[in-house]
Amino acid sequence: MNDSKPLMIKQLPQDERPREKMLTKGAQALSNAELLAILLRTGTKNDSVLRVAERLLKKYEDLGIAALSGIGPQEISKIKGIGPAKAVTVAAAIEIGKRLNSLSSAQKVIIRSPQDAANLLMPRLRYESREHFIVLLLSTKNHVLATPTISIGSLNASIVHPRELFREVIHHAAASVILAHNHPSGDPTPSSEDIVLTRKLVDAGKILEISVLDHVIIGDNKYVSLKEKGIIE
């Protein structure tokens, strides 16, 4: 009978510890047990976190790791060494994986018209009590990559600076953008400040060779497109 205890994480060579291994070799180099060990963080007095992770995988070894996608934190917490907090962490990571896996190009939002942009942002902006300036970052095929908020408050050129906006564009490698903000009054009619700011951002986009396709102003269940108004050519 082998009475030797499993090696604890701190006893492993530096480059074989899961966290360090991920940093140096990338997530793809880690086994399923090592990835789970990172989520679990700690083991027990007698078992390393890797041993606890292996115990969880072993329970479902006949079905493979895909079986984990069908179990909840209550089931996971039945494994020795995994309490409710760790079980919830594992279940949350699995859910993120499932959601990412469910995404496909066909399911991503595509903006084909100002109406599409308005439909996307209306629920988010319609009832806001302050002006939120948002940029829709688009791929070459007009898929929405992200919709970060650039500023909150009164809309003017000093608050919405091209530097902040185009930093997001470059970070997400967007091909083009649609500007958007709401009017808390519910009336989406563009103000003179809206028009001045739009032209400033369009000019900045031209310098960076990033197309500003439109500026959509959201009101109470209605919108105005500065592209449709001829303010953006």
Distance CA 9, CA 47 (A): 10
Query: Could you tell me if residue 6 is left (phi over 0), alpha (psi between -120 and 50 degrees) or otherwise beta?
Result: beta
The CB-side HSE value for 42 (13 A sphere, CA atoms) comes to 4
- Where does the pLDDT of residue 1 fall: very low under 50, low under 70, confident under 90, or very high at 90 and above? very low
The CB-side HSE value for 103 (13 A sphere, CA atoms) comes to 10
Cβ atoms within 10 Å of 225's Cβ, excluding its own? 23
Give the model confidence (pLDDT) of 25-78 as tens digits: 888 788 999 999 999 989 888 888 999 999 999 888 766 677 787 788 999 999
Give the model confidence (pLDDT) of 151-164 as tens digits: 888 655 447 889 98
Fold of 114-225: Cytidine Deaminase; domain 2 (3.40.140)
Q: What percent of the chain has pLDDT over 70?
A: 86
Helix, strand, or coil here: 137?
A: strand
Mean local confidence (pLDDT), 221-229: 96
Whole-number pLDDT of residue 10: 62
Q: Is the pLDDT of residue 127 over 60?
A: yes
Better-scored residue on pLDDT, 158 or 201: 201
Better-scored residue on pLDDT, 184 or 27: 184
Strand 211-218 versus strand 176-182 pairing type: parallel
Give the model confidence (pLDDT) of 134-181 as tens digits: 999 999 999 999 898 898 886 554 478 899 899 999 988 999 999 999
Q: What is the mean pLDDT of the chain?
A: 86
The domain locations on the chain are 9-102, 114-225
- Where does the pLDDT of residue 3 fall: very low under 50, low under 70, confident under 90, or very high at 90 and above? very low
Nearest 5°: CA angle at 227, between 221 and 231?
A: 115
The architecture (CATH level 2) of 9-102 comes to: Orthogonal Bundle (1.10)
Give the model confidence (pLDDT) of 85-97 as tens digits: 999 999 999 888 8
Residue 155 · residue 120 · CB < 8 Å = no
Whole-number pLDDT of residue 221: 92
